[in-house]
């Protein structure tokens, strides 16, 4: 099938490469010429395990990138995976997405090379009322010139395992209004449906959008709930991980996403929860539980700093921050919990030396004036305290490196460090 993907961020590039791996003819469209050349050279524009390999196998074969919208003229499905940035009040700015949807609809209305119609499938996360507005717009642009159907096909990929998640989805959600979109979307993913047997959910576009928000809101709230319970455990001197392991055996609760600590970051959970709260509030309902989930998450970095202050005066200390990425496996620092922690350390007058295996460059742009180490060992050398913010495997293997600290105070926000003799070790929720 001929497929176009507009927007080559982490979701769009993974989708384009993944669809090429399913043997479709894929055109990736992005306004950034550097991203386009990178894809055409078979190199991933972002750090995502397995993506380079897929791109190098398919670029120049059945995957081409371009800055030209005209390339979508013969696409059976045009996926739109354009960013939807947050506004100050938490709502999302759909202007870039609207621009892409309108350009796609206009190109198809004026220059379509197919007489059997096109499906415009939105991958970007947009609220149900915004989906309705986008449908009205594309149908108006299409008029009688071309048959267009809007679909909503939300994305459930996790950063750091996006390629693997694409190839082994646990569910596919197809939000469609009519049969053409339904049939084409199902056909595009047929090889995955056959191999990975995901749940296939057919619904309307607005419900598909709500499924995406509900999925992320539920997981974010689950993390905040275990963090809230974990904070109770800490004040009672109880290990929250032992409690989580026990309650996780109840399959109504489930064992996953019960890792308590410094909280969730990334481009999705914080942003999507704020966006659905803003959209719902505008429509007349204020979701108090979701607001509480954000409040608990915002409080976790402060709790880490409070624990540090129990053992040392940050202003007199050189503090190693281990882990800058919002989670292991990615160089993404968006909403990383390390950001409020570094801010808090600087406010308290600490000298900060930070280390991350892949995200140093990104954090240097955010905090140009702190020190950065080339290894965790170098960060620990002479440090009076260490805060662990990302669960990179290499931190679990540091062992003797802690002996190089001037004072062995370790505050662990991710439960990755094994406490050692002579170490003052504090877990955030254990």
Using CB under 6 A, list all residues that contact ligand UGA.
155-159, 216, 219, 223, 257-259, 261, 263-266, 268-269, 326-327
Angle in degrees, CA 224, 291, 391, rounded to 5: 30
Query: Which residue number, 30 or 332, has a Cβ lying nearer to ligand UGA?
Result: 332
Could you give phi then psi for residue 25, rounded to 5 degrees? Answer: -90, 115
CB of 325 to ligand UGA, least distance (A): 9
CB of 254 to ligand UGA, least distance (A): 11
The SS3 assignment for 354 reads strand
Query: Which residue number, 219 or 416, has a Cβ lying nearer to ligand UGA?
Result: 219
CB of 99 to ligand UGA, least distance (A): 21
**β 77-80/63-66 pair status:** unpaired
Is the CA virtual torsion 375, 379, 381, 386 positive or negative? negative
CB of 413 to ligand UGA, least distance (A): 9
Query: Which residue number, 117 or 299, has a Cβ lying nearer to ligand UGA?
Result: 299
Tokens of 350: 């600490």
| Residue carrying structure tokens 């009205």 | 136
The answer to whether 28 and 63 are in contact (CB under 8 A) is: yes
Query: Does the annotation mark 233 as catalytic?
Result: no
Distances (CA, A) of 363 to 2, 282, 332, 366: 39, 35, 9, 5
Query: Which residue number, 84 or 112, has a Cβ lying nearer to ligand UGA?
Result: 84
Query: Which residue number, 184 or 415, has a Cβ lying nearer to ligand UGA?
Result: 415
Distances (CA, A) of 162 to 15, 51, 167, 363, 382: 9, 8, 9, 22, 38
Could you give phi then psi for residue 338, rounded to 5 degrees? Answer: -70, -25
Angle in degrees, CA 264, 298, 390, rounded to 5: 35
CB of 259 to ligand UGA, least distance (A): 3
The SS3 assignment for 77 reads strand
Query: Which residue number, 149 or 332, has a Cβ lying nearer to ligand UGA?
Result: 332
CB of 188 to ligand UGA, least distance (A): 18
Task: State the CB neighbour count (10 A cutoff) for residue 252.
Answer: 5
Catalytic residue among 138, 163, 210, 268: 268
How far is 303 from 428, CA to CA, in rounded Å? 7
Residues annotated as catalytic (active site), given as ranges: 268
């Amino acid at each position: 099938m001929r497929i176009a993907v507009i927007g080559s961020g982490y979701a769009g590039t993974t989708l384009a490469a993944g669809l090429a791996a399913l043997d479709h003819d894929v055109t990736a469209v992005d306004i950034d010429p550097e991203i386009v050349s990178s894809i055409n050279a078979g190199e991933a524009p972002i750090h995502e395990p397995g993506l380079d390999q897929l791109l190098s196998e398919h670029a120049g074969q059945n995957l081409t990138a371009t800055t030209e919208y005209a390339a979508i003229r013969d696409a059976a499905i045009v996926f739109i995976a354009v960013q939807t940035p947050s506004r100050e009040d938490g709502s999302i700015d759909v202007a870039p997405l609207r621009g892409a949807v309108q350009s796609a609809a206009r190109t198809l209305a004026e220059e379509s090379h197919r007489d059997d119609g096109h499906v415009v499938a939105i991958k970007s996360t947009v609220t149900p009322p915004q989906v309705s507005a986008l449908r009205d717009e594309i149908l108006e642009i299409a008029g009688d010139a071309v048959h267009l159907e809007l679909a909503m096909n939300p994305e459930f990929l996790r950063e750091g395992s996006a390629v693997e998640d694409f190839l082994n989805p646990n569910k596919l959600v197809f939000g469609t209004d009519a049969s053409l979109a339904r049939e084409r979307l199902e056909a595009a993913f047929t090889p995955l449906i056959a191999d990975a047997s995901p749940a296939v959910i057919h619904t309307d576009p607005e419900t598909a959008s709500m499924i995406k928000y509900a999925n992320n809101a539920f997981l974010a709230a689950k993390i905040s709930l275990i963090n809230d319970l974990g904070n109770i455990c800490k004040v009672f001197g109880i290990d929250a991980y032992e409690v989580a392991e026990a309650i996780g055996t109840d399959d109504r609760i489930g064992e996953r996403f019960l890792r308590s600590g410094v909280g969730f970051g990334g481009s999705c959970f914080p942003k999507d929860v704020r966006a659905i709260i803003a959209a719902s509030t505008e429509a007349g309902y204020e979701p108090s539980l979701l607001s509480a989930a954000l409040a608990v998450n915002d409080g976790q970095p402060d709790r880490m700093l409070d624990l540090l202050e129990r053992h040392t005066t940050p202003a007199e200390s050189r503090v190693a921050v281990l882990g800058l990425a919002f989670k292991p496996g990615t160089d993404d620092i968006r909403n990383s919990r390390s950001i409020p922690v570094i801010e808090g350390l600087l406010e308290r007058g600490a000298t900060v030396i930070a280390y991350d295996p892949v995200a140093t460059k990104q954090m240097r742009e955010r905090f140009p004036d702190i020190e950065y180490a080339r290894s965790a060992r170098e960060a620990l050398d002479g440090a009076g305290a260490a805060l662990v913010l990302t669960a990179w495997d290499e931190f679990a293997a540091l062992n003797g490196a802690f002996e190089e600290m001037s004072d062995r105070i370790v505050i662990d926000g991710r439960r990755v460090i094994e406490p050692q003799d002579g170490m003052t070790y504090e877990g955030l929720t254990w």
